[in-house]
Amino acid sequence: MNFCVCIKQVPDVAAPITLHGGELVTDAGRVVLNAYDASAVEAALVLTEAHGGEVDVVLIGPEKATETVRKALAMGATRGTHLVVDSSSSLDSSAVAALLAEHLAERAYDAVLTGKQAQDTDAGLGGAMLAERLGLPYVTNAVGIEQEGNALVVTRQGDAGQERIVLPTPCLVTCSNDMNDPRIPSLKGIMAAKKKEIVAVAVAAVPPSATRTLAYEALPTRPPGEMLRGEPAEIAAKLVAVLDL
């Protein structure tokens, strides 16, 4: 099968993040491949190594995000496409899905994989929006993927347990980071990635975002705990009053 994995460069969540004037301030120099997307790349690589095929990756981001495309190539992806947008561009899930759908509509893949969410926003909407735009059957929050003939058997984590779904191709799957442990690129892979093709495409018009972030606020502090003292009957009465029963 031939896969396309949609990836994203995100701030390193292990780096210090502060709140200033309603804006999140991160260490702009510490950016990484989104962990959920890394699991999607690994899943595609495992399947193509076992059954044949190729893995392409596509990323939307500023010019410096090329290094993240290169990381996926070093893991073993075949080629990459970088849809270049200005660093000041504000893209929500709807805008990202529109750009990816425009890019993928001109190409044929057996399966499109994405992370189930991005570490910077945790929105988790892009995959479903992209599947709708492409008219593809899809499964979310996958924790396992197997190939059976021309279909994918996807194990997804639901609220009440795991579900196994047979998904005809072409299709789309959003992947959990509980699916696998993404490989660390080897020196051979890093050297090979330097020779692999990355097509940079300047995005002429960024789609308007359907949502707007007004500001970020720190979580409210929790009030201190209160120790109830006295006889059992007195404590019970105080507890009932606190719980407003």
Q: pLDDT truncated to tens, each residue of the chain (245 aa)? A: 999 999 999 988 777 777 777 777 776 678 899 999 999 999 999 999 999 999 999 999 999 999 999 999 999 999 999 999 987 778 899 999 999 999 999 899 999 999 999 988 888 999 999 999 999 999 999 999 999 999 999 999 998 899 999 999 999 999 999 999 999 999 999 999 999 999 999 998 888 888 888 888 888 888 888 888 899 999 998 889 888 75
What predicted TM-score, i.e. pTM, was given to this entire model? 0.85
Domain map of the chain by residue range? 3-214
Query: Is 175 in a helix, a strand, or coil?
Result: strand
pLDDT of residue 222: 86
Distance CA 47, CA 192 (A): 20
pLDDT of residue 245: 59
Instruction: Check: CB of residue 171 under 8 Å from CB of residue 138.
Output: yes
Distance CA 244, CA 31 (A): 47
Distance CA 232, CA 48 (A): 66
Q: For residue 107, give the H/E element and its range.
A: none
pLDDT of residue 216: 82
Mapping DSSP onto H, E and C, the string for 120-149 reads CCCCCCHHHHHHHHHCCCEEEEEEEEEEEC
**What's the gap between Cα 154 and its chain centre?**
17
pLDDT of residue 140: 96
In CATH terms, the superfamily for domain 3-214 is: HUPs (3.40.50.620)
pLDDT of residue 40: 97
Instruction: Check: CB of residue 72 under 8 Å from CB of residue 57.
Output: yes
pLDDT of residue 93: 93
